[in-house]
Structure 1
Amino acid sequence: MQKKFILVCLINFFIAALMGLALRFSVLESIGLNYRFLTHAHSHVAMLGWVYLMLFTLIVHYFIPDKKPIYNRLFWLTEFAVIGMMISFPFQGYAAVSISFSTLHIFCSYYFAYLIWKNQETKSLVTNKLLKASLLFMVLSTFGVWCLGPAVSMLGQASAFYQIAIQFFLHFQFNGWFLIAVIAVFFHVLQIEDSKLFRSFFKLLIAATILTFALPIQWFAPHKALLFINALGILLQLASLYTFLKIIKPKLLDHVSKRPKILLYLYFFSVVCFSLKTLLQALTLIPEFSIVVFEHRNFIIGFIHLMMLGIISGFLFSFILNTRLVRFTKSLYIGVYSFLLGFILTEMLLLIQGCKFYFEEGMLTNYYLLLFLFSILLPLGILFILLHIIKTKYDAKQTTKTS
């Protein structure tokens, strides 16, 4: 695995975390930047500079035995698009420059999907299915982006069409591309073998991912049928979680038995977040709860961070710790635990304040100050991990190869 690629991804994540910290400070004091524009920059760099490029790096490392130069060139071109968005979004939001870089990233992702589909080699039917499904969802999600222009020109940004197009992109990016790609790498690392249980899990996961998109549609174009479709999707999602836990339990314990406990803690943390996310979605079976989630921003931000920081980033950090890129020293422990503590404290604060809003009990004392202070732990943790990897000598020959 190329160390420089991992460092680039972590630097992107660190910058995205600093942007998030600036957003939370801007509520306390003016920082001279448009809040909405900075939010766009924060989300794009986190999603496309951290998660996307980390998955790019992991997939090429584990599933492409013949590392052709095209992958290096494509990585740097994609990073160029990320830097363009990083610089342009904070100052102009969605405008000509930022849209151009976003479009470049989409075309890079299409070429990446084509290359991986064509060149990936794995003897495992498990990882083959999951990898291809994740790539299909990645391409599918971008259809939502292409609908934004027509939606604005025909009906405006306040229209249901526009809002559903955004939700289409986000839903299939998070629940399709990101989540399933992470599971593909996770199952590869655990060496999960094909079985009747896995085939059931795969079918349940794909069906649930598609059907649960009914809920975001319901928010902007209410219809009773959508509630039933979402309910079916939730039930399938719960069943997929059950099969997922049955599949990984024996393999995970064996995998981490001879490794430092921090790796077990990170895997456990990520799986708990995945389970919690599924259980929270199950609460949308109660129509009143789905309305509450939509109307209270704290719950939405908390859920997005549960996906991005808890599940996706938790697994990505686990994969990094599972390589020779790190040595299990004090600085690494400080970085990982700082990040996890920052995540847990900010999530708890968002949840408590969301509940207070719902019950009309007003604001927590020093809520925004506490949210900012707890958020400092996130970029601090990333920085410790980043510096640790920079200092660690790395032997590429000792990493896990494709199987």
Structure 2
Amino acid sequence: MPETIIMPKKLVVVCLFNFLIAALLGLALRYSFLGSIEVNYRFLTHAHSHVAMLGWVYLMLYVCIAHYFVPEQKPIYTKLFWVTEFAVLGMVLSFPFQGYAAVSISFSTLHIFCSYYFVYLVWKQHETASVVTSRLLKTALVFMVTSTIGVWCLGPAVSMLGQASAFYQIAIQFFLHFQFNGWFLIGVLAVFFHLFKIENSKLFSAFYWVLIVSTVLTFALPMQWFAPHMVFPWINGVGVVLQLVLIVLFVKLIKFKENKVASGDNLVVINLYRFAVLCFILKTIFQASSIFPAFTNVVYGHRSFVIGFIHLLMLGVVSGFLFSFILKNNLLSYSKTTYFGVYSFLVGFVLTELILLIQGYKFFTGSGLLPNYYLSLFCFSILLPFGIALMLFNLIRKKRN
């Protein structure tokens, strides 16, 4: 299988560079509460989220999937990567100045069509002897395509009912929910299970179907936010209970302590696995709290909880796994710079998550702001781009054996 082929270094450099841009934009957003940044906050948020999702997570998953599941990679994958990166750079350069407008929408549309072609290529050309990874990979790709239905609904929603309508908001949530919980999460699990050589079994089959059903059912939560109905909390309740079952099945499936595959990895790779799995468990527990309507309303009404949850999934679970995949391929030297970069990122993530959680709780109890809340959040956030920059520096500097 393609593990013997070295993961393309140039493409990983581009992905990490995109992540660094996203982190710096996020840092600028947090600085905006301390001083003026002379840029529209909402426009900058669009730029930050798009480059993080589509420039870092999407493209790094692209590289991993092509590397592990497409033997004898054809030049078309490299060409398509650069066209997709062109779309990402177009969004980075247009969103901060115009938000959603003709130029940024054009680049976003180009990215979607590139993703469709990527799905077509991988579906047709992927090879894996494992039923487990094949099912997970195909499911992730299906969720990716399905999520874009929400994007195509935005135009009709605006023209018919406007941006304040429930239709428009649900379309956005549809895209985000199935991108995050479908394409991104299941995509990294496909690679993770491939590396851990998880075999097909009744346990995996149960895990797979609980994963799919719970992912679909938990979309009832954003539906309840914008189109309240008495049935949605019950559907979401079933979904979150299934997710708790999912975590138990997941832990049994990977058998972390007994897995001989992981035992051959460097300690920092194993720690990243552990960190990502821990964040996956915490994400599920936090999401399970949505079963209580009073808490759900508070969470939706306070950005600290919303941003904290998104970062828990994107930075903790997904990025944790993606970092481990990069390191496992020996693209970075196991030096003090690498260790300092990885652990700086993780410490910055944990500290900012704690501040967001504590502040969210203070909002929940009506006890106001933490002392120096915005300053502390900004200072700890510096560790995120700093850690990424160190890893990127190490990656560029390391020479191939």
Q: 2:372 aligned with 1:394, yes or no?
A: no
| Deviation string, structure 1 residues 121-175 (Cα, Å, up to 9, x no partner) | 0010000000000000000000000000111111111111000000000000000
Q: Is the 8 A contact 1:190 1:251 kept in 2?
A: no
**Counterpart code for 1:275:** I
Task: Report what 1:12 is aligned to.
Answer: 18
Q: Give the whole-Å Cα distance in 2 for the aligned partners of 1:182 and 1:353.
A: 30
Q: CA deviation at 1:393?
A: 1.8
Please state whether the residue corresponding to 2:35 is helix, strand or coil.
coil
Q: 2:49 aligned with 1:43, yes or no?
A: yes
Q: 2:189 aligned with 1:180, yes or no?
A: no
Task: Report what 1:340 is aligned to.
Answer: 346
Q: Give the whole-Å Cα distance in 1 for the aligned partners of 2:169 and 2:365.
A: 27
Q: 2:277 aligned with 1:290, yes or no?
A: no
Q: Give the whole-Å Cα distance in 2 for the aligned partners of 1:130 and 1:253.
A: 20
Q: CA deviation at 1:324?
A: 1.9
Q: Give the whole-Å Cα distance in 2 for the aligned partners of 1:251 and 1:168.
A: 37
**Counterpart code for 1:121:** E
**Counterpart code for 1:193:** E
Q: CA deviation at 1:92?
A: 0.4
Q: 2:341 aligned with 1:328, yes or no?
A: no
Task: Report what 1:319 is aligned to.
Answer: 325
Q: Give the whole-Å Cα distance in 2 for the aligned partners of 1:380 and 1:253.
A: 33
Matches within 5 A, 1:151-166: 151-166=157-172
**Counterpart code for 1:190:** F
Q: Give the whole-Å Cα distance in 2 for the aligned partners of 1:69 and 1:189.
A: 25
Q: 2:359 aligned with 1:349, yes or no?
A: no
Q: Give the whole-Å Cα distance in 2 for the aligned partners of 1:112 and 1:85.
A: 19
Q: Give the whole-Å Cα distance in 2 for the aligned partners of 1:354 and 1:124.
A: 43
Q: CA deviation at 1:287?
A: 1.1
TM-score computed with the length of structure 2 as normaliser: 0.97
| Deviation string, structure 1 residues 176-232 (Cα, Å, up to 9, x no partner) | 000000000000001111111001100000000001000100011111111111111
Q: CA deviation at 1:260?
A: 2.4
Q: Is the 8 A contact 1:293 1:300 kept in 2?
A: yes
Q: Is the 8 A contact 1:204 1:236 kept in 2?
A: yes
Picking from 141, 147, 150, the partner of 2:153 is 147
Task: Report what 2:128 is aligned to.
Answer: 122
Q: CA deviation at 1:253?
A: 3.8
**Counterpart code for 2:165:** S
Q: Give the whole-Å Cα distance in 1 for the aligned partners of 2:195 and 2:365.
A: 45
The alignment-based identity, stated in percent, is: 65
Q: CA deviation at 1:251?
A: 7.2
Q: Is the 8 A contact 1:192 1:251 kept in 2?
A: no
Q: Give the whole-Å Cα distance in 1 for the aligned partners of 2:96 and 2:170.
A: 24
Q: 2:383 aligned with 1:377, yes or no?
A: yes
| Deviation string, structure 1 residues 10-64 (Cα, Å, up to 9, x no partner) | 0000000000000111111101100000000000000000000000000000000
Please state whether the residue corresponding to 1:79 is helix, strand or coil.
helix
**Counterpart code for 2:132:** V
Q: Is the 8 A contact 1:190 1:252 kept in 2?
A: no
Q: Is the 8 A contact 2:348 2:384 kept in 1?
A: yes
Task: Report what 2:206 is aligned to.
Answer: 200
Q: Is the 8 A contact 1:175 1:209 kept in 2?
A: yes
**Counterpart code for 1:312:** V
Q: Is the 8 A contact 1:324 1:394 kept in 2?
A: no
**Alignment: residue pair count:** 395
Q: Give the whole-Å Cα distance in 1 for the aligned partners of 2:399 and 2:133.
A: 30
Q: Give the whole-Å Cα distance in 1 for the aligned partners of 2:283 and 2:317.
A: 9
Task: Report what 1:222 is aligned to.
Answer: 228
Task: Report what 2:374 is aligned to.
Answer: 368
Matches within 5 A, 1:12-91: 12-91=18-97
| Deviation string, structure 1 residues 227-280 (Cα, Å, up to 9, x no partner) | 111111111111111111101015774223233221121111100000000011
Q: Is the 8 A contact 1:127 1:185 kept in 2?
A: yes
Please state whether the residue corresponding to 2:162 is helix, strand or coil.
coil
Q: Is the 8 A contact 2:196 2:262 kept in 1?
A: no
Picking from 243, 247, 261, the partner of 2:267 is 261
5+ residue gaps, structure 2: 1-6
Q: Give the whole-Å Cα distance in 2 for the aligned partners of 1:43 and 1:25.
A: 16
Q: Give the whole-Å Cα distance in 1 for the aligned partners of 2:88 and 2:143.
A: 21
TM-score computed with the length of structure 1 as normaliser: 0.97
Q: Give the whole-Å Cα distance in 1 for the aligned partners of 2:73 and 2:235.
A: 43
Task: Report what 1:398 is aligned to.
Answer: none
**Counterpart code for 1:264:** I
Please state whether the residue corresponding to 1:122 is helix, strand or coil.
coil
Please state whether the residue corresponding to 1:40 is helix, strand or coil.
helix
